[in-house]
Structure 1
Amino acid sequence: MVELEIRKQKIINLNMKKKLYQFFYRFRGGVLILIFALLQTTTLQHWIGEHHLYGPRQFALKNKTLELHEAILTNKLKEGKTWNDYGGGSLNHRIGAVYIAEALRRISGKSLFSIYKWMDHAALFSVLVILFLFLRTQASSEYALIGTLFFATSQVTTYFYHYFHPWDRISQLLWVLGLWFVSKNQLKRVIAILVLGVIVKYDFLMLASVYTLFLFFSGRAVESFWKGGTVTIVGIVTFLCVRALIPNSDISVSPVWDRDWSFLSTNLYLMKEAGLTYPPILVFSVPTLITLFGWNKLTPFQKGGAITALIATPIYFLTSFFNETRAEMPLLMMLLPSALRASSHLLQSDEKPPRGKSLAEVEGAI
């Protein structure tokens, strides 16, 4: 009787192990992506972020960080200070991340420095996972992994030239979700994510351009007009509401042309000094070139994203410090789907077709 019970228990344990193995085997791809995202996030945040951003922010730049957080939270500056003194004439409009951090601080009792760091941790981890899943809808799993690896590598350049930009990681997360919704033509979700994105950072308005161009290149001119127009209006109204509710921006302190020429001369100088090490060259040159070479193979959505990114690039160059790639990651996200699609065709064009099949048949299957 005892032996029978022991045998039954062994069978139960064996079945449990078998089911557990089957579960992990079935979802092994997802588990590996989660591990990959966790390790990449830890590597970037600890070995680069801790030394070049979070450490200095908590010690040498502690007072400036707390001062800017409080200024955005209350929309009040110290006497004699302007928003341009902190690095931008419209910083007080980027309220989303600051409000979230303040809410978490009050709920948890943790320090702002810890909260901002863990917000970046969570956002970067989520971006890497969701970006891979999104890119799988645009290319094969292998190319999606290559694109995610390229994006992760490019994040090395985002930890420099600033000390307080908590909205950029959250904006990246919203961008990858927004692009995914656009690619599926989900109007309600696009509108919802656009409102959230503009509240976090106003350059999220570019998503409306991607949506409009995607529908236009799909041959749906009427749909492009009313859906694209609706999304654009919602984005602009959201931005204007934020500006109306939170005034006192320095965005018009100097004439636009003065600021543009100042940024242009500075960016040209920095590009000349850095040469091949100039961060935007390292991040954007390869995806841009591959996209242009494989333009005829792109889908309507990929063309919409690529055109928006190519138009926005000189605008960034004229209106911001272009070496700060952390602020330009939306451009990379818009370029990656087209670059991966073009890469798959450009690389396969040099391969011999399988025996018994013509190259035209192989390309048709793709």
Structure 2
Amino acid sequence: MELVERQGAGQGSRIAQLGGDAVTLAGATSHGEPLGKAQQESGDQLPDAPGAELSLTYVGMIGVSTAEDATLAILQGGAHEANRNARPLHLFTLHPRVAFIRNAAVEASAMLRASPGDGITAELEEAYLILGDGRDHPQLKLGRFFAEVGRFNPEHFEDSHFVDKPVIHTRLFGPEQLSNGGIRILWPFSGTYRLFYGVQSARGETASSFLFEPGEEVGGHGLIARRSRGLRERLHWVRGETEGTLSEGSRVVSGLTALWGPNASGMTTTTSIIEADVELRRTPGPGPLGGLTSFRLEALGRRYEAGDPGNADRETLRDWGLVVQGVWRLERTLAAGMRLEYADGRNGKTPDPERSRRMRATASLTRFLGRYVGLRVQYNRDWPTGLQGAENSFWLQLKLTTERVDAAYAH
């Protein structure tokens, strides 16, 4: 395999020559334009010819906060977030893809997590077969994958503009994001509208709003080992998505998602979640928006039945949240991000700081030290109800990757 550098349309891409045929490596499209995972549309982009891709990413983080470690573990609830004062976190991600024929591929994502005092853990995030282009023809995904719920959940952590996931996502989908084994169908309409339907396992910590681990609690209600009854015990979700062009270099993608399935607080209890999102994507350039590359808004609400009928503690838990964020390309090697968040919950047997009112303001600054090296500084201001006072946190993140480190800022 010969690895060569090619320059095109002002952006470089790495092309692997395999048996005389050019195939993409580390996220290049069939048109020669680099495409990292964070840049992809909903629905996977597949190469036009057989070949293989492999990306490797290292992310290291460390930070300090005015919050004690016990509180910081609640504020930074994601499994891929540093949540201890002055304790580093190291994440190594391997992302292979093998395309056997045109518009058919096997893809996976595996992560190694290491932190002093917590040891080393490995996890398989995704492993699935995908068939179809999803743009002009239907697309089928089969295996373990991130549910395409909104803009944040299917986004790999190493491709995010920030060092943490939104608070409401961690609350509703758990620290590992919503990802389980199942099947997803994507049906495009006229190149502008897309309809998704997915059926996935509802069990485990990657589906915390549904059949979460027995012995855990949600809103003070203990969870049980609920029996499986076939398709009825699966997580179902449907998503409608549309895309439109505002002007040359600017477009809007919006979507609406509904999820439903059983939860483990009883033998007949269910959970339903509604999500709505809109995102403006823009190629940086002159004009009133300046270097804005994306503006994203997402809102989620959950209805969680706690306790079977006849149970004296039976109630309905309600949780909701909103995320607004903007990302700017300030110059060739510098980008900035701003995020505002709100999350709240109602009802529950006992006070729960992981469901209480939370507000957060975040600012990040990312410097690209080379094509494959990025350094990020982030400040969080948290206002957590039920915990003592507002908290300030500062995070430092280093990213090394075989993909272009600035791919997520080049829409």
Work out which structure has the larger RCO, using CA pairs closer than 8 Å and 6 or more positions apart in sequence.
Answer: 1
Structure showing the higher helix proportion among its residues: 1
TM bracket, shorter-chain basis: under 0.3
Structure showing the higher strand proportion among its residues: 2
- TM-score normalised by structure 1 residue count: 0.27
| Structure of greater Rg | 1
